[in-house]
């Protein structure tokens, strides 16, 4: 079986394109964030909350990946920022070449923040670098607190864990302390924000996190 | 890129082993059900409810797939039926050869019902036949009613949709009529059972579904 060598070849080619993208993002001072999660954890809702809070003058763009349908792009385009759907047609994750292609007709000099919503899949997208500054994993409390242990690669590779749907905590068997502990067992340095896209609780903390990343990015660019 | 031909080769090899398994299941009059879903939709909880209701004399066996950890097998072994964890070590789905290997030291003549819990992934397991009589897709209402349209392959290939966590319906933006409509748009003949593994509502209907499948299977075997 030559599956592993081919898998490595595909990943190596993906890493090559991702490295090029990362360089272009640095050249244009773009902060690129890659949102990953299970289906239905709330990536699109989180982006809705995020875009809603931005002033129209903010230079934000959105790429949203899905296997079928452009539902998410329709939901997100309402906020007036450049938004593009990447329909993978069966592929279970976004790849760097898809990002490269989607960006081909956008002027990168007009973008400060590029938000990428990956396909809903807590496994495969962890292996594909998109040139992002950080992966952000969204976990809904309805999924259970054991998920970091059961899907460790995604939590290991994410800089931030967004625990979403905390409004459901009274109704689901989910132990917050366990979830935090399991996530840190897999990835000791992971940051954690708890929020609800439905009620808005915790959203300001998420907005401050993005603002902080945008500022520290500019500072580090100014230094170079 | 020779990705597609290789993918087809892998799938063809999987189909070959799955066909052999299906034949062995028929020879031993085993009903094999393959439970698929997103992470945290409730496959393990549904199996707990299922095993709990069986008399100790019932000839049931369980295979449960996970990328890491044997948490699910520990949860399910409590009920006293033969239970085995398949740890895929990174692979995002179960494959027929994993089932074949896991069954190697079990006496198939002692099994009537083989319950297989797949890796939590609403995309990739849809492509891998395990020799099962039917795939059953579990969708938690916390995931949103749009999932059948966004992940159509899984709903198209499943005979039954179990809508789980209906106890959360008052607290989540989920339209039952839409979910049913979307599932039937993708797969007109799909059966739908609504239940809650937490409260037990709807569980008798699920048990009747399994009993029905076990009976009709024996009948069809008697005829041949």
Q: Provide, as residue numbers in chain A, all residues whose Cβ is less than 8 Å from the Cβ of B39.
A: 38, 122, 143, 147, 150-151
B2 pLDDT band (50/70/90 cuts)? very low
Report the C-alpha gap between A79 and A71 in whole angstroms.
14
Using CA coordinates, name the residue in chain B closest to A126.
Answer: B90
Q: What SS3 string covers chain A?
A: CCHHHHHHHHHHHHHHHHHHHHHHHHHCCCEEEEEEECCCCCHHHHHHHHHHHCCCCCCEEEEEEECCCCHHHHHHHCCCCCEEEEECCCCCCCCHHHHHHHHCCCCHHHCCEEEEECCCCCCHHHHCCCCCCEEEEEEEHHHCCCHHHHCHHHHHCEEEEEEECHHHHHHCCCCHHHHHHHHHHHCCCCEEEECCCCCCCCHHHHHHHHHHHHHHHHHHHHHC
Interface of B with A in 116-135 (CB under 8 A): 119-124
A177 to chain B, any CB pair closer than 8 A? The answer is: no
For range A82-109, the mean pLDDT: 96
Residue B216 scores a pLDDT above 70: yes
Residue A140 scores a pLDDT above 60: yes
* Confidence (pLDDT) at B8: 86
Give tens-digit pLDDT for B94-116. 999 999 999 999 999 999 999 99
Helix A203-223 and helix A43-53, axial crossing angle in degrees, nearest 10: 70
Residue A192 scores a pLDDT above 80: yes
Question: Would you tell me how many other CB atoms lie within 10 Å of the CB of residue B20?
Answer: 13
Terminal-residue alpha carbon distance, chain B: 47
* Confidence (pLDDT) at A5: 56
Strand partners, A160: A136, A191
ipTM above 0.90, yes or no: yes
Residue A220 scores a pLDDT above 80: no
Cβ B168–A168 below 8 Å, yes or no?
Answer: yes
Whether residue A36 is contained in a domain is answered as: yes
Buried b (16+ CB within 10 A) or exposed e, A97-124: bbbbebbeeeeeeebebbbbbbbbbbbb
* Confidence (pLDDT) at A6: 58
Domain count, chain B: 1
Whether residue B1 is contained in a domain is answered as: no
A149 to chain B, any CB pair closer than 8 A? The answer is: yes
Task: Out of A2, A69, A142, name the one closest to residue B165 (CB).
Answer: A142
Whether residue A1 is contained in a domain is answered as: no
Whether residue B111 is contained in a domain is answered as: yes
Give tens-digit pLDDT for B35-72. 999 999 999 999 999 999 999 999 999 999 999 999 99
Give tens-digit pLDDT for B139-164. 999 999 999 999 999 999 999 999 99
B153 to chain A, any CB pair closer than 8 A? The answer is: yes
Q: Residue B90 belongs to a domain with what CATH number? A: 3.40.50.300
Cβ B92–A198 below 8 Å, yes or no?
Answer: no
Cβ A71–B168 below 8 Å, yes or no?
Answer: no
Domain range for B17 is 6-223
Give tens-digit pLDDT for A45-70. 999 999 999 999 999 999 999 999 99
């Amino acid at each position: 079986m030559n599956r592993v060598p081919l898998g490595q070849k595909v990943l190596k080619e993906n890493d090559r394109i991702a490295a090029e993208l990362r360089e272009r993002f640095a050249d244009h001072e773009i902060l690129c964030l890659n949102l990953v999660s299970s289906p239905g954890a709330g990536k699109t809702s989180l982006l809705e909350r995020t875009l809603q809070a931005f002033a129209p003058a903010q230079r934000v763009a959105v790429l949203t990946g899905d296997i079928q349908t452009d539902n998410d792009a329709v939901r997100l385009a309402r906020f007036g920022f450049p938004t593009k759907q990447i329909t993978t047609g069966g592929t279970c994750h976004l790849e760097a070449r898809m990002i490269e292609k989607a960006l081909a007709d956008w002027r990168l000099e007009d973008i400060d923040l590029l938000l990428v919503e990956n396909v809903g899949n807590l496994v495969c997208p962890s292996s594909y670098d998109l040139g992002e500054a950080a992966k952000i994993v969204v976990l809904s409390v309805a999924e259970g607190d054991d998920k970091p242990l059961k899907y460790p690669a995604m939590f290991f590779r994410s800089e931030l864990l967004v625990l979403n749907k905390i409004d459901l905590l009274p109704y689901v068997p989910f132990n917050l302390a366990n979830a935090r502990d399991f996530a840190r067992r897999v990835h000791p340095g992971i940051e954690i924000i708890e929020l609800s896209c439905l009620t808005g609780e915790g959203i300001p903390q998420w907005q401050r996190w993005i603002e902080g990343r945008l500022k520290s990015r500019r500072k580090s660019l100014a230094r170079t």
